[in-house]
Amino acid sequence: MIAALYNVLIHLFSPILLAMLYWPKKGKPSFGKRWPEHLGLVPRSSQQNPVWLHAVSVGEMIAATPLIKAIKAEYPELPILVTTTTRTGADLAAKLSDLVEHRYAPLDFPWAVALFLHRIKPRALLIMETELWPNWLSACAKRDLPVMVLNARLSARSAARYKKFHSVFRLLSNNICHIACQYPADAQRFINLGVKKDKLSITGSIKFDITYGAEIYEKGQQLRIQLGHKRPIWIAASTHEGEDEQILAAHKLLLTILPDALLILVPRHPQRFNQVAELVKQQKLTLRRRIQSDMAMSTQVYLGDTMGELPLMLAAADITFVGGSLIARGGHNLLEPATLGKAILTGPSIFNFTDIYQRLLEQEALITVNDSTELADTLIILFSDKATRLQLGENALAVVNNNKGAIHKTLQQIQPFL
């Protein structure tokens, strides 16, 4: 009954869902001729019975990348097909084309899922984090395809939502073979929702296993020289609408004390690149964009308007502010700058990364700021106190190194299902 009602609703609201996905926006990358893949009309895989790994967008794809490399190192002949829902996630998956095939994931219409499974014929489904769709799980169960959720997290906020619709959650969880949780708190929340203990394991967060090759450090150093080797440089990464204004206000305050300071501003979504560029100009700040080749020392804001280059821009900066945290978005990945040994600042909204935030906070590896004034004051202090700035970065890197190992534990859990 619940499944039937869900399918009526998803078809009833399909025009809105499709409009949200496909409606053109300035700067938003289109799906091009590949849009029918969302309806299950995917090209057949050149691989026989691949493992299907789903990573919805950029964040999940970043976490999945070291896992994919580890799986291929352990099982070089194992075919892997990666799906994403977004174009930006697809662009990251394309960088692994020597290891995996990519398709866009089917939307959760039962006929689209059935068509996808018929054409791909996967041997198992691995879902990164907690992207659970009823028709996906039901269709896999009917075909006896094992389903695992990897790097799973369940915040108290999400658990409360699932509890309100407990029958729906039970319908989902009954079709999952195993959930590899990041932390004991996540596992306990799943248990409280009725998931059996023998379906759960605790592997840690794969995001701690992120590593950057020498190329990132080299390119970061090259960018630093281009931007101004001796200038105070900070980066605001993965920012959102309503947050960029606060970032720029903080930078203007910083400039009153350090007039040669440079802000690298990297919006979370590419469709906002032009909008943010206009905002910088409205604030009477001199702007240079990453897509432009030339750079002037008079530049006050450097806009990171390319995809896949955030790590090298982080490497080029002295201090990192992680966005999605000065507004109620729950923050973004704190471990990318931590892995590079950077001093980290964040706003108070970190509910998406509570455990990681707490670990960094306990080791004095980050500073929380509540508004643009506090952000500016903290930047001024850190730029004037190099020893404290470097210690923050060293503490952050130590937290990353002390929590590695999730990929090895995850591989152990995956093995029986392959």
* Residue of 37, 60, 243, 336 marked active site: 60
Q: What residues form DSSP beta bridges with 349?
A: none
Q: What residues form DSSP beta bridges with 259?
A: none
For 74, the token pair is 């352990």
**Could you give the CA distance from residue 314 to residue 73 in angstroms, rounded to a whole number?**
28
β-strands 301-303, 287-289: how paired? parallel
Exposed / middle / buried, residue 256 (Cβ in 10 Å: 0-12, 13-18, 19+): exposed
Strands across the sheet containing 101-104: 101-104, 80-84, 51-54, 124-128, 147-152, 178-181, 200-202
**Could you give the CA distance from residue 318 to residue 224 in angstroms, rounded to a whole number?**
10
Q: What residues form DSSP beta bridges with 36?
A: none
Give catalytic status of residue 60 as yes or no. yes
At 377, which amino acid appears?
D
Exposed / middle / buried, residue 348 (Cβ in 10 Å: 0-12, 13-18, 19+): middle
Helix (H, G, I), strand (E, B) or coil at 403: coil
* 396 phi and psi angles, rounded to 5 deg: -65, -45
CB neighbours (10 Å) of residue 227? 19
Torsion over CA: 71, 105, 20, 133 (sign) = negative
Helix (H, G, I), strand (E, B) or coil at 5: helix
Instruction: Identify the CA nearest to 342 among candidates 380, 389, 384, 405.
Output: 389
**Could you give the CA distance from residue 124 to residue 34 in angstroms, rounded to a whole number?**
24
The rounded Cα 266 to chain-centroid distance in angstroms is: 14
Helix (H, G, I), strand (E, B) or coil at 370: coil
CB neighbours (10 Å) of residue 43? 11
Helix (H, G, I), strand (E, B) or coil at 43: coil
* Catalytic residue ranges: 60
